[in-house]
Structure formats: structure tokens, C-alpha cells
Amino acid sequence: LRNSGAIPSTERGMTKPSITLIGGGLVGALLGTLLARRGYRVDLFEKRTDPRRAGFAGGRSINLALAERGLHALRQADLADEVLEHAVMMRGRMVHPREGASGLQRYGVDDSEVIWSVARGGLNVLLLDAAEAAGVQLHFGQSLASADFDARRIRVIDDHGIHREVEAGVLIGADGAGSALRAAMDAHTPLGLRVEALGHGYKELEIPPAQGDGRARFALEPNALHIWPRGGYMCIALPNTEGSFTVTLFLPAKGAHPSFASLPDAAHAAAFFREDFPDLLPLIPNFAEDYDSHPVGTLSTLYLDRWHLDGRALLIGDAAHAIVPFHGQGMNCGFEDTVALADLLAESGRDTADAFAEFQRIRQPDADAIAQMALENYVEMRDSVADPHYLAKRELGAA
Ligand code: FAD
């Protein structure tokens, strides 16, 4: 492992600090690309082994809704077209009520207003390839353990448990909701951290492609985000390019039935699905295996008073503002962050402390707004979309 951060790079006579980026997920890889293309020297430390060699943990298809905000950021890195080649268009919500026919609620008047389903693993690989091509030095299997902001050094631990000290440049944490850099910054200067648990969790299941005429085909309408709203809980399904759908069941974590606590195993869950999701259950042939082997994820919103430690360290993406997933905007918001930050850092005459303060000033109100909208959209998705009054208002263009 080379030491990083010692050598400032220059462009048009301006000295650029070198960047030590923690986390090579979606946001870290895109930020690295944008900064390296602007002439910054970037060293990226990622906890996992290189997914391009090892494959994604579990090998499951997990997908995300990519919207215009995220696409705009990908365009700045010239990656939007390539990403869309591996995406499935979603025109609207296909709502599957408990009784009655399913119906499509379009997002816009035509296909100029759509969102896209993309595979998380494939997108991350594409972004890491782009970062490497732009000149980012990638260090896989290197997890941030601690940071000494005064000495500008970090300690990383590899897959064999071996610790090393590395000289750091300006530190940027894109290491997700459980950010280790955030913990180190908070220990140095309290950041005003607040985590609000939703009290609901999620579990992913899979609808494989259906077989017909000897060919694989989608078992449901492919160009839609499917929702089975049930009042206090719901299932959703997003399409994958190869014909499958990733289903996500959202339920209260505990308390009254149904909850993940009241459905501890596939036998209980299958009985519940037979009652509540009778049209969905037959589409999930490996229900028992999926239910018993896939973990229950937790959902929280994370707020911070401070996103940076003067000009020495900054948090971005989920590390700064993790939100619940019901607006499908966490990644999109993190992608928007990368463009704002790269632009601010590149503005001549700005030092990093100034750029980081401005970044928080610009981005925090947007992050707070989408955090609130994401919480509200859970109620809309699991409940209002099936309400005849909501549908009538929507017909009139009021919802
Ligand atoms: P992450 O994707 O969490 O990446 C963090 C990276 O840092 C990882 O690679 C991790 O290995 C690495 N790391 C962690 N700790 C360390 C360490 N100590 N040292 C080094 N590296 C470290 N968003 C959308 O826009 N649309 C959606 O449809 C959508 N659906 C979602 C559905 C669910 C169920 C969930 C939970 C989230 C969803 N999101 C969605 C949100 C989206 O997943 C996140 O906003 C996005 O992944 C944030 O990217 P990130 O790079 O900031 O963090």
C-alpha cells in the first residue's frame, strides 16, 4: 500500500490538494471519477474486495430506481448512456390492490417523464471502472479503522486483520450509513448526530423470469414499478434486465401482526402471503429459501448538524444524510452531491474549508427535504395509492 495524500497536484497554476476518499460504493466511485477528471489526485479506500474480481456478495439482483437527478450527475461523467443500456424503463406505478384489477399510474404524461431500474452491482462495477480509467488509485480490502485529523494520517485494516498507517490528503467519507469516517470525525468534534429509526424493516425476494414458448419473459409488466399496497405495509417489485424482478417486502419490525417478529420464518410468511398477496406468492417459486436466507434490513433517517471538519474532512452521500428508500432518491441525492462538490472544489480561489462549508449550505436543505418526502411517501405507497379518493384526485391532476 502506497502512502497517499503527500503530493499536491496542480492545474492552471492552482494547487489542488490530494484527496483521500473512503468508500467505493455508488457515490464514492462517481465522486472519484469527477475529481480525477478535474486533475485531482484521488486515493480511494474500499472495505470490500474488488467486486469486479470477486463478484457481489450473495450474487443477488438488487436494484435501484434511477431518476433524472441521478442521470444528470452521470451525464457529467459521460456515463448516462452506458448506464441506461443496462436499465429497464419504469413508466409509472402498477398498483395491485387486494381486490380488483391492477392499474398503471403514470409518472408523467408521456415517456419523457420516467424512472429507470438499474442493478446496484452492475452500476457499482461500471462506476469503479470509470474511476480507475480517470486515474483514481483504488485500494480494495482496506477498511478505515481510525483517523488522526491533526496529524493527517489514517489507519486502515485489511482482510487479514493487518493494520497500516497511511498519510492522508483531504478526507472525504463516502462510506455509507454506517460511516467509519463520520465516527472518527464525531469523536474529534461532535457532529450533532441524530438517527431516527422508522420501526419498519425490509426483506428482498425474487420473481424469476417466466418461461413461455421456450423463451424467458417477464412474469409481470416490465416497464413499471409494481406496488402491492396493504395499508400499514406493502410489497414492491422492480424489473431487472434479464427478466426477473426484485421484490421488497416492507413490514413493521415488531409489534402487532403482521411484523417481521410475527413472521419469523417462511412457513409463517407463506401463510400470510397466501392471505394478503395471493397473486404475488405464486410468482416467487423460491419463497421459502429467499425468506429464510435473506436478512431483514433496518430503515432509519440520519441527520447531522455538521457535515465537515473545517477543510480537513467531509461526509457525502449516505454517510452525511441516509434516508428511508420510499422515494427511491438516496443514491440520486448522493449523485447530485458529487456534482455540487466537484464544482465547488474546482472553483478557483476556494480553499477546501470554504468549499466544504458552501457544500453543506447548498446541499443540506435539499437532503432534509428529500428525507421528509421519503418518509411521507411510505404512507402514500403503502396506503394512499389504493385509495379511491386519491385516484380521483390524481385523475384531476391534483395528486
Ligand atoms: P453505500 O452504497 O452504502 O456505499 C458505501 C461504501 O463504503 C461501500 O462500498 C462500503 O463497502 C464502503 N465502506 C463502508 N465502511 C467502510 C470503511 N470503514 N472503510 C472503507 N470503505 C467502507 N436510492 C435510490 O436512489 N433509488 C432507489 O431505488 C433506492 N432503493 C433503495 C432500497 C433499499 C432497500 C435501500 C436500503 C436503499 C435504497 N436506496 C435507493 C438508497 C441507496 O442505496 C443509497 O442512498 C446509496 O447506496 C448511497 O450510496 P453511498 O455510496 O453513499 O453508500
At 43-78, the pLDDT tens digits run 999 999 999 987 655 456 699 999 999 999 999 999
pLDDT band at 8 (very low <50, low <70, confident <90, very high): very low
Amino acid found at 50: D
CA–CA separation, 359 and 337 (whole Å):
8
Residue 234 lies in a domain: no
256 CA distance to ligand 1 middle (Å): 30
Q: Is the pLDDT of residue 3 over 50?
A: no
Residue 135, domain CATH: 3.50.50.60
Indicate if the alpha-carbon torsion angle 173, 179, 185, 186 is positive or negative: positive
Of 247, 231, 280, residue with least CA distance to 381:
231
Residue 182 lies in a domain: yes
pLDDT > 70 fraction of the chain, expressed in percent and rounded: 91
- Set of cell numbers at residue 128: 469503479
46 CA distance to ligand 1 middle (Å): 12
Residue 242 lies in a domain: no
Looking from the CA of residue 145, the nearest atom of ligand 1 is 18
Cβ 124 under 6 angstroms from ligand 1: no
Cβ 23 under 6 angstroms from ligand 1: yes
Instruction: List all residues 6 or more positions away from 276 whose beta carbon is below 8 Å from its beta carbon.
Output: 98, 230, 258
Count CB neighbours of 103 within 10 A: 14
Mean pLDDT of the chain, nearest integer: 92
Q: Is the pLDDT of residue 10 over 70?
A: no
Q: List the residue whose alpha carbon is closest to atom 12 of ligand 1.
A: 23
Q: What is the rounded average pLDDT of the residues 324-347?
A: 96
In contact, 33 and 127? CB cutoff 8 Å: yes
Q: Which residue has the cell 480494495?
A: 140
In contact, 4 and 43? CB cutoff 8 Å: yes
> 32 or 385: whose pLDDT is higher?
32
Residue 292 lies in a domain: no
The tally of domains found in the chain comes to 1
Residue 189 lies in a domain: yes
The pLDDT, as a whole number, for residue 385 is 79
The pLDDT, as a whole number, for residue 394 is 63
Three-state secondary structure call for residue 54 = helix
389 CA distance to ligand 1 middle (Å): 36
Range of weakest confidence among 55-64, 115-124, 270-279, 304-313: 55-64
Question: Which long-range contacts (C-beta less than 8 Å, at least 24 apart) are formed by 278-286?
Answer: 279/96, 280/96, 280/228, 280/235, 280/237, 280/247, 283/207, 283/210, 283/219, 283/220, 283/245, 284/205, 284/206, 284/207, 284/247, 285/208, 286/206, 286/208
Residue 296 lies in a domain: no
The pLDDT, as a whole number, for residue 2 is 37
Residue 47 lies in a domain: yes
Cβ 26 under 6 angstroms from ligand 1: yes
Could you report how far apart the first and last alpha carbons of the chain are, in Å? 55
Looking from the CA of residue 180, the nearest atom of ligand 1 is 18
Residues 245-261 pLDDT 10s: 999 999 999 988 999 99
Looking from the CA of residue 26, the nearest atom of ligand 1 is 51
Residues of the domain holding 129: 9-64+120-195+301-379
Residue 390 lies in a domain: no
In contact, 131 and 33? CB cutoff 8 Å: yes
Residues 356-370 pLDDT 10s: 999 999 999 999 999
Count CB neighbours of 203 within 10 A: 19
The pLDDT, as a whole number, for residue 14 is 58
pTM strictly above 0.90: yes
The pLDDT, as a whole number, for residue 5 is 36
Q: How many Å is the maximal CA-CA distance in the chain?
A: 69
Of 268, 279, 359, 269, residue with least CA distance to 313:
359
Residues 147-186 pLDDT 10s: 999 999 999 999 999 999 999 999 999 999 999 999 999 9
Q: Is the pLDDT of residue 11 over 70?
A: no
Q: List the residue whose alpha carbon is closest to atom 53 of ligand 1.
A: 176
In contact, 288 and 182? CB cutoff 8 Å: no
